[in-house]
Structure formats: structure tokens, C-alpha cells
Chains A and B, each alone.
Chain A
Amino acid sequence: MRLISITAFCAAVFCSLLLGAAQAKEAVPAAEDPVLEERMMAIARELRCLVCQNQNIADSHAELAIDLKNQVKEMLVAGKTDKEIIDYMVQRYGDFVRYRPPVNPATYFLWFGPFLLFGGGLVLLYINLKNRRKKLEQAESVLSEEQIRRAEELLRQDAGERKQ
């Protein structure tokens, strides 16, 4: 009994130590204003890093991405809205900086192309199915009675052979 309680005590101490360590680690980024940090990261996720083009600046560790993150943070502190910050970036780096491209004549095909292709596919499918049904109907009427009789005879023969 005594042994068990000592073990339990040790386990409890160990667990609390672990927990404390984990909490200490997570506390570092929250040292600043966590709400601001979260807003900054949300905007940073919408912005493309132009140095490493397939990353947003939230994930990128490129110098420019860090600078831009600081810029975003400063603008947030200065009370700018999300839209104002995104516009600021677009003014300097163009629409390419946005991970979500805006809908404008240059991007119509990008936005609506997939639906166009899907619609086209549906139309093709419909035409194909219709043709197929027509062919099948024709195929049925194409067999003459003589042919049907022969086919049945062949099938019977086949069944007979299998029995043997």
C-alpha cells in the first residue's frame, strides 16, 4: 500500500513537472498581445511571400516575409483595418501578393473556368448517354428473328456442352 502511494506521488510530481514545462514553452509567443498576434497571422496567411512564391508570409522565414509581418503588425497597432493593410500590400506588390485572387476580368477564367469545364463535361456526358441509348435501341431492332433464333440455338448448344 505504501509503495503504491509513493509511486502515485512520484507520478503526480513528474506529470506536473511535464505540464509546467509544456506551459512554459507555449507562453513565449503569447508574451505580446495575443489578439494582435492572431490578427497579424490571419492577415499574413492571406499574403503571398514573393521570395518563396508558394508560401504565405505567415509560414515563410524569408527576410522580406519577416519585414512584411512587422509592417502588418505596425499597421494594426496604428489602427488600420485588415482591408487597408491588404490594399497597402497590393498597391506595392500587385494582386499576385494575395493568396485569394480578386475577381476581375483578368481572373474570370481562373474563377469560372472550372465551372465552365464542369458544365461542358455534363453536356458531353448527356450527349454521349443519349447516343448510346439510341444505339442500343437500334441494336435491338437490328437483330432479325432468324438471328435471334440462331443465337438461342447457340446458347442452348453451349449449355448442353457444359453439362457433358
Chain B
Amino acid sequence: MVRFLVPLIIFVILSVFLYIGLGLNPREVPSPLIGKPAPAFDLPQLLEPEKRLSNQDMLGKVWLLNVWASWCVSCRVEHPLLMQATRAGAIKNLVGLNYKDTTDAALRWLKDGGDPYTLSAVDAEGRVGIDYGVYGTPETYLIDKNGVIVHKVIGPLSVDSLQNCVLPLIRLLEQAAPERQVTREAVQACV
């Protein structure tokens, strides 16, 4: 009896592990920046290149940093949702980081599909992208009033991730006093 039971149990355990493994998304590598201050940047703006945009400008606000590019196919998928969410007022502070793009192509994209961004910064060489650990556009960082990264979404935002994770977190963070940090549980509920 034991002779058959032991391999069976081993097989079941292996199956469970393999099944869980199949369900994981290898593209979603947990960012080490969560809970840390957002890396500093000071970049020219996309629409008004003579003006600059720095992460310091956003202190005191809860904001999203959305890394995008006109060559990025998934960004095209995500774009209408961003338009909708900003138009509805669900997302108030959406900063675009135009990543390794040409200004012409980026401007054309915003003209064609609409501009959901409060402001857009140009990271033509991808330096700021490296500082933020960007490896697959689009990526979206949720940053609190203290300038701390609370959450990161890799890949396009979806209706589901917006409604169940990002928007509730934004509401929570906005209620929080600037010095108060959001509890870990709130973020974990997101995952």
C-alpha cells in the first residue's frame, strides 16, 4: 500500500507546485522600490520642452507615473482606459513618462488618441527608466504625498486592476494625512 501511496503523494505535491507555477506571471517581477522614495528626476516636458518637470513638483499629491512610448503596443491597449479614467475624474494626477521615444511620434500619438496626462516628461535616453527599474512598458507607479512608491503595475492597466486596486488605493492615500503611511495590508489587498 505504502509502495503506491508515496509516489502518489509526491506526484500530487509536484502537481500543485507546477500548477501554481503555471499561474504565476514571470513578467511580474516584484519591484524593490515599493515603500521607497521615488527616484528623483528632472526632465523637460513633452508639450512645453522649455519647461521642466521634477518629482519634487508632485510632493503633497497622490499621483500616478505612467511610463509609455508610441512604439509600445501594450500602451495602445491601455490608452483608452487612461482617457476614460482621467475624463471621469477617477484619476486626477497622471504624469506620463515618455520613455525612449521621439518627440514627434509622441506628440502625434497624443494628438491622435487624446492626451490623458496632466503633464508628460521626456526620458529620451531611458535614464530615468533605469532608475525606476522599468523593463516592460507600460508600467505605472502609484506615489503617495510623501513621494514614496506605494504600488507598481507592470503591463497595461486593466479595468479590473484599476477598480480593485489602483483607485481604492488612491482614495485611501488621499484621505491619509501626508505624514501618515498607508498600512501594508491595504497594499497587499491589491495583489
**Which A positions have Cβ atoms within 8 angstroms of B?**
50-51, 53, 63-64, 67-68, 71, 90-96
Alpha-carbon distance between A94 and B130 when the two chains are bound, in angstroms: 12
A64: chain B residues at CB < 8 Å are: 126, 135
Of the listed residues A50, A51, A71, A90, the one surrounded by the most CB atoms of chain B closer than 10 A to its CB is A50
CB–CB B29/A93 < 8 A: yes
CB distance from A7 to the nearest CB of B (A): 58
B interface with A by C-beta (< 8 Å): 26-27, 29-33, 100, 125-126, 129-133, 135-136
Known A-B contacts A50-B29, A67-B126; the reply to A94 vs B133 at CB < 8 A is: yes
Q: How far is the CB of A9 from chain B (nearest CB, A)?
A: 55
**From B29, B33, B135, residue with most partner A Cβ within 10 Å:** B135
User: How many whole Å from A90's CB to the nearest CB in chain B?
Assistant: 7
Q: Which residues from chain A contact B33 at a C-beta distance below 8 Å?
A: 92
Measured CB to CB, the nearest residue on chain B to A48 is B29
16 contacts between A and B (CB under 8 A): A50-B135, A51-B135, A53-B27, A64-B126, A64-B135, A67-B125, A90-B32, A92-B32, A92-B130, A92-B133, A93-B32, A93-B133, A93-B135, A94-B31, A94-B133, A96-B30
Q: How near does chain B come to A113, taking the closest CB pair, in angstroms?
A: 12
Give A96 to B15 CA distance when docked, in angstroms: 25
Contact check, B130 vs A91: say whether CB atoms are below 8 A apart.
Answer: no
Residue numbers in A under 8 Å from B32 (CB-CB) = 90-95
Query: How far is it, in angstroms, between the C-alpha of A90 and the C-alpha of B29 when the chains are bound?
Result: 12
How far does the Cβ of A47 sit from chain B's closest Cβ, in whole Å?
12
B30 close to A94 (CB less than 8 A)? yes
Complex partner residue of A68 from B27, B130, B136, CB under 8 angstroms: B130
Residues of chain B with a CB closer than 8 A to A95's CB: 32
Which B residue sits closest to A66, measured CB to CB?
Answer: B126
Residue numbers in A under 8 Å from B100 (CB-CB): 63
Instruction: Choose one: B29, B129, B130, B132; the contact of A96 (CB below 8 Å).
Output: B29
Bound CA span A50–B126, Å: 15
* Given A67-B125, A92-B132, 15 more pairs with CB closer than 8 A: A50-B29, A50-B135, A51-B135, A53-B27, A63-B126, A64-B126, A67-B129, A68-B130, A71-B130, A90-B32, A92-B32, A93-B135, A94-B32, A94-B133, A95-B32
Asked if B29 and A94 make an inter-chain contact with CB atoms under 8 angstroms apart, the answer reads yes
**Complex: A95 Cα to B129 Cα, angstroms:** 18
Q: In the complex, A101→B32 CA distance in Å?
A: 15
CA distance A54 to B30 in the complex (A): 17
Q: How far is the CA of A68 from the CA of B133 in the complex (A)?
A: 11
Interchain CB contact (< 8 A) of B136 among A50, A67, A92, A96 = A50
A95-B29 Cα distance, complex, nearest whole Å:
9
| Shortest beta-carbon distance from B55 to chain A in Å | 15
Query: For the complex, what is the distance from the CA of A92 to the CA of B129, rounded to whole Å?
Result: 10
